[in-house]
Amino acid sequence: MTPTASPFDPLTLGPLRLRNRFIRAGANEGMVVDGAPSRALVKHHRDLAAGGVGLTTVAYGAVSEVGRTLPNQVWLRPEILPDLRVLADAVHSEGGAISYQLTHGGSFVTSLKVRGPTMSASSGFNKAGLLRGNLFQRAMTAEDMERVTQQFVEAARLCRHAGFDAIELHMGHGYLLNQFISPLSNRRRDAYGGSAENRARFPAAVLARVKEAVGRDMAVLAKINVADGVKGGATVEDAIVTGRALQAAGADMLVLSGGRNVESGWFMFGSNHDMDEMRKVLAASPITGLMLKWSQHGVPRIAFREMYFLEYSRRIRAAVDVPLGYLGGAKSLANAEQAVREGFDAVVMARALIHDPALVNKYREGSATQSGCTNCNRCVPYIYHPAGTWCVMSPPNDPDLNKIRAAG
């Protein structure tokens, strides 16, 4: 990275060359039909590619049916290959690259009833699954780990077959791989628990297997927490250990996020949820609404500030050599330029691009230097809406597009 590097410069990640360093973060879109991408999802990511992003990330592709956190999430399986191809082709037609975020919810399955205890790093009571009857979780065995690893590998191969350019393994926010990394979830006393090195062992092994399977053809990224943001959770020192383990496993980039959905969503977003908007959207789903209300108990009031993960991310940047994507409150061209100037290889955004999918082109053309996103977080509850997520300051999505499969 040179001092004159620009966020508009091309970026090479493994076998992938991006046209610029702007990445749309993986963030649940709520645009799914029968566990497959909808036409609304195709439009959403085509618009982002047309708007100038170098890489757009499709959120939460579950690697197994029981790995879905919400019922309206994609389950990656051969039957949906035609839908995945339509999605990838749409982004490519606009000159962009596309990544699928692969994950497994583990014990964090909040809207589906799973037969038997959910899987996690450790056994015990499952507070995340309480309101759906998933009361208990069990510690994964060596056989479980091998099966789940192979599910990640097969999902990555499916994405390669569909024409995707990259995959992102989700290791943050309280999902299964993060349940190993975080001491909030991992109380194991074997080689996969205890020290930060041990807690990163299984996620790093998953990445190494995925890299071996598809790394010649696709970039392999991982999303990690810079910290969990709550007492007893993973710290930035833990994140450095995780980052080094993933670097050794062959990661082409680490995307730096933070927080956990249940314990510290406010830390993740750098500001509080709008509970009035949540109640409005979830009026027909009282159980989910109750769960979200419960999750807000004791939450501190947080005032949004730009680049809110910068101090944590700087420490990780100083400790690892792997490419890093800065995420967390980058909402202006000046923010993006600062991130690149400080040695981050890409600028990763979600809410600013939900507000305006054409923001990158506007930055390039000089017609805008600042996102109009107010960080009100009222877009968040629309992952539960029949039309999918959108910015409440913009016209709503066409709900009919969210009723038809991408290849339908």
* Boundaries of every domain in the chain: 11-403
Pick 11-403's CATH classification: 3.20.20.70, 3.40.50.300, 3.40.50.1370, 3.30.70.1560: 3.20.20.70
* DSSP bridge partners of 136: 125
**CB 199, CB 178: distance < 8 Å:** no
Phi/psi-derived region of residue 224, left when phi > 0, alpha when psi is between -120 and 50, beta in every other case? beta
pLDDT in tens, 3-60: 568 999 999 999 999 999 999 999 999 999 999 999 999 999 999 999 999 999 999 9
* Residue 384 designated active-site: no
At 26, list the tokens. Answer: 């993986």
The model carries a pTM of 0.95
pLDDT in tens, 146-164: 999 999 999 999 999 999 9
Q: Is the pLDDT of residue 262 over 80?
A: yes
Among the residue ranges 63-72, 139-148, 168-177, 227-236, the one predicted with the least confidence is 63-72
With a CB cutoff of 8 Å and minimum separation 6, the contacts of 297 are none
**CB 347, CB 329: distance < 8 Å:** no
At 220, list the tokens. Answer: 């392999």
Chain-centre distance of CA 247, in angstroms? Answer: 19
Q: What is the pLDDT of residue 279?
A: 82
Please provide the average confidence, as pLDDT, over all residues in the chain.
94
**CB 386, CB 376: distance < 8 Å:** no
Helix (H) or strand (E) segment spanning residue 61: strand 55-62
Which residue of the set 100, 175, 192, 308 is catalytic? Answer: 175
Q: Is the pLDDT of residue 125 over 70?
A: yes
**Alpha carbon of 131 to those of 127, 272, 289, 290, 336: distances in Å?**
8, 22, 10, 8, 40
Cβ count near 399 (within 10 Å): 12
Question: What's the mean pLDDT in 95-118?
Answer: 92
What percent of the chain shows pLDDT beyond 90?
Answer: 85
Chain-centre distance of CA 101, in angstroms? Answer: 6
β-pairing, 324-327 vs 346-349, is parallel
Q: Is the pLDDT of residue 2 over 90?
A: no
The Cα–Cα gap between 228 and 232 comes to 9
Buried b / exposed e across 81-113, counting CB within 10 Å, b at 16+? Answer: bebbbbbbebbbebebbbbbbbbbbbbbbbbbe
pLDDT bin (cut points 50, 70, 90) of residue 1 is very low
Unique residue bearing structure tokens 């539960």: 384
pLDDT bin (cut points 50, 70, 90) of residue 326 is very high
Helices (H), 127-262: 142-162, 176-181, 196-199, 201-214, 236-249
Q: Is the pLDDT of residue 277 over 90?
A: no
**CB 251, CB 283: distance < 8 Å:** no
The Cα–Cα gap between 284 and 322 comes to 45
**CB 129, CB 135: distance < 8 Å:** yes
Question: What's the mean pLDDT in 115-125?
Answer: 93
Question: What's the mean pLDDT in 303-308?
Answer: 96
With a CB cutoff of 8 Å and minimum separation 6, the contacts of 280 are 381
Q: What is the pLDDT of residue 163?
A: 98
Of 254, 233, 259, 227, give the one whose Cα is nearest residue 243.
254
Q: Is the pLDDT of residue 263 over 80?
A: yes
DSSP letter assigned to residue 297: T
Q: What is the pLDDT of residue 293?
A: 65
* DSSP bridge partners of 61: 74, 102
At 248, list the tokens. Answer: 């050794």
Q: What is the pLDDT of residue 319?
A: 98
Q: What is the pLDDT of residue 161?
A: 98
Of 352, 239, 231, 351, give the one whose Cα is nearest residue 300.
231
